Amino acid sequence: MVDATLEAEIRRIIYNDYGVGNQNIDSEEIYNKLIQRGIDVPRNAMGDIFSSLRKRGLIRGIGKMDSSKAPVHGFWSIMWVDRHIAV
């Protein structure tokens, strides 16, 4: 199950810091912004959230397979953001 509070914060970061439409967002950038804000990010949470956002059509992107980075920040490359990402 996806952490709704963490998902909302990720959605705010994506919308407010990057905007909508075609993008090139690395999940590590989002992770670093969360850490700077003092938000604890559980292992595997970001990958689950990005997968959920993609399934709902809010983002397009790919999760990369890197066993050392994926549990930390999902190791995603977001290439497109829907306007409905706004919280």
Global confidence as pTM: 0.90
Buried b (16+ CB within 10 A) or exposed e, 30-50: bbebbeeeeeebeeebbbbbb
Q: 60 with 22: CB under 8 angstroms?
A: no
Position 13 scores a pLDDT of: 98
Per-residue pLDDT of the chain (87 residues), as tens digits, is: 778 999 999 999 999 999 999 999 999 999 999 999 999 999 989 989 999 999 999 999 987 766 777 777 778 899 999 999 998
